[in-house]
Every structure is written in structure tokens, then in C-alpha cells.
Chains A and B, each alone.
Chain A
Amino acid sequence: QKEVEQDPGPLSVPEGAIVSLNCTYSNSAFQYFMWYRQYSRKGPELLMYTYSSGNKEDGRFTAQVDKSSKYISLFIRDSQPSDSATYLCAMSEGGGNKLTFGTGTQLKVEL
């Protein structure tokens, strides 16, 4: 079993839709949870950062962490074609430890 599981997609939605992206994990020691956006042939860009359980909102993006279920989510409201990219979840035990990434979910927002 992989430490972090993420559905690779592709996920195709119409413009304006609410997108839900998810990851599950097995390591209960993970405390820091991140979402990165990666455009084709580019490096990942940090979108959201959350410590422990709870919600965090930034503009059209909301990150949720449920440590009891070992489940994290990223919601994108009013999705735009420019949101089309691969979204990677990443997590860490903290204290400067390395990041463990999911495989990424490819999202396509269509006009």
C-alpha cells in the first residue's frame, strides 16, 4: 500500500463547477498537509498549506484535513479553464521532514 493515495484522473468538469480533489494516507504521523498545482512541464506551485485537522480557505480554494479518517480534500469553487493542471497533495511529519507526494490528479476545466 502506498503511503499516499490519489486518484490520477483525468477529471473533466465544466467551467464554473465545484471541483473536489482528495487524498488518503496511511501514516498517522503526518501533520502538515499541502496542495500543489503543476502545469505541464513546469515545477509544482504551492497552493494551500494546512497544519493538523481543520479547514483553510484562500479565495476560490478550500483545503480540508480529517486526520481521524486520514483524508484530505481540496475544493475549487467557480472553476476556470486556467485551473486546468495536475494537483498534487503532499504531506509531512513536520519538523523539517521530507514531503511525501501523491501521484497527482489531472484536472481539465472545459469552456
Chain B
Amino acid sequence: GAVVSQHPSRVICKSGTSVKIECRSLDFQATTMFWYRQFPKKSLMLMATSNEGSKATYEQGVEKDKFLINHASLTLSTLTVTSAHPEDSSFYICSARPLDRRHGDTEAFFGQGTRLTVV
């Protein structure tokens, strides 16, 4: 299957600082990437949909000024958590949808996730 690389896998930062998470599709191009947040024993909650070359679409309740998304190329999207607070601590996961939709329109491949801890 297609590979999505997410970096870093773990990060600890101080409250008030910003953290950038990268999501790269390694062997395919993706016009659409998704950013999710997952709490322990909870479902994946979609935060935003990132489209290459245009502004991200944020889900209701997600602060776009706090969670900055940039999708500069067909293989890279970044999520920046600005002015992080302890309540932002969570598992963040990206997914990428290939241009080549061999399995249909909704196939998406996930990164390995980033565990963010804000202290």
C-alpha cells in the first residue's frame, strides 16, 4: 500500500510555544490530506481537510488560527499548533488521498501519528 510519513512521532513542548507536524506522501501524489485528532479510547475526530494550493476547510469547533494548515505541494501538508496549551495534548494523525483512486473515492492512507504533550 501507499506510504504516508508523519513527523515527528512524539513531541513535548512548553506551554505557549508552537509545534509543527509534517505529513508527507512518499510514493504518491495527494491533492487532499486530512488532519485528525484522537483522544484515548475515542474515535478519530476530523479537524480539517487540506487541499493543495488552497485554504484548508476546518470542521466546526476547530480554531483555524490555532491549528494552521499549509498544503504547499502534492506530497506535503503541515499542521502547526500555535500557542500550545496542555489541553492541546493529544494524538494527531494525518491521512492522504491519492490522485489515483484505485479503490474508490474515499481511500486514504494514514500516517503513523504524532503524540503531542504540552507541559
Surface stretch bound by A, among B62-70, B73-81, B109-117? B109-117
Q: Given A42-B112, A43-B112, A44-B93, decide whether A99 and B106 contact each other with a Cβ distance below 8 A.
A: yes
Docked Cα-Cα span, A49 to B108, in Å, equals: 11
* Chain A residues in the interface with B (C-beta under 8 A): 4, 8, 32, 34, 36, 41-46, 49, 51, 88, 92, 94-99, 101-104, 106
A88 and B106 contacting across the interface, CB-CB below 8 Å:
no
Docked Cα-Cα span, A99 to B43, in Å, equals: 11
Residue among A4, A49, A88 making CB contact with B103, cutoff 8 Å: A49
Most B CB contacts (10 A, CB to CB) among A44, A49, A97, A99 go to: A44
| B6 cross-chain contacts in A, Cβ below 8 A | 43
A98 and B113 contacting across the interface, CB-CB below 8 Å:
no
B107 at interface, CB cutoff 8 A: yes
**Which residue of A is nearest B4, CB measured?**
A43
Docked Cα-Cα span, A4 to B113, in Å, equals: 23
Summed over the interface, the residue pairs from A and B with CB atoms below 8 Å come to a total of: 65
B107 and A46 contacting across the interface, CB-CB below 8 Å:
yes
The distance from the CB of A31 to the nearest CB of chain B, in whole angstroms, is: 9
Q: Given A92-B106, A97-B106, decide whether A44 and B44 contact each other with a Cβ distance below 8 A.
A: yes
Most B CB contacts (10 A, CB to CB) among A32, A43, A88, A104 go to: A43
A103 and B107 contacting across the interface, CB-CB below 8 Å:
no
Most A CB contacts (10 A, CB to CB) among B42, B105, B109, B111 go to: B105
Q: Given A41-B115, A103-B42, A104-B43, decide whether A46 and B109 contact each other with a Cβ distance below 8 A.
A: yes
Q: Given A41-B113, A43-B6, decide whether A49 and B107 contact each other with a Cβ distance below 8 A.
A: yes
B32 at interface, CB cutoff 8 A: yes
A43 and B113 contacting across the interface, CB-CB below 8 Å:
yes
**Which residue of B is nearest A32, CB measured?**
B106
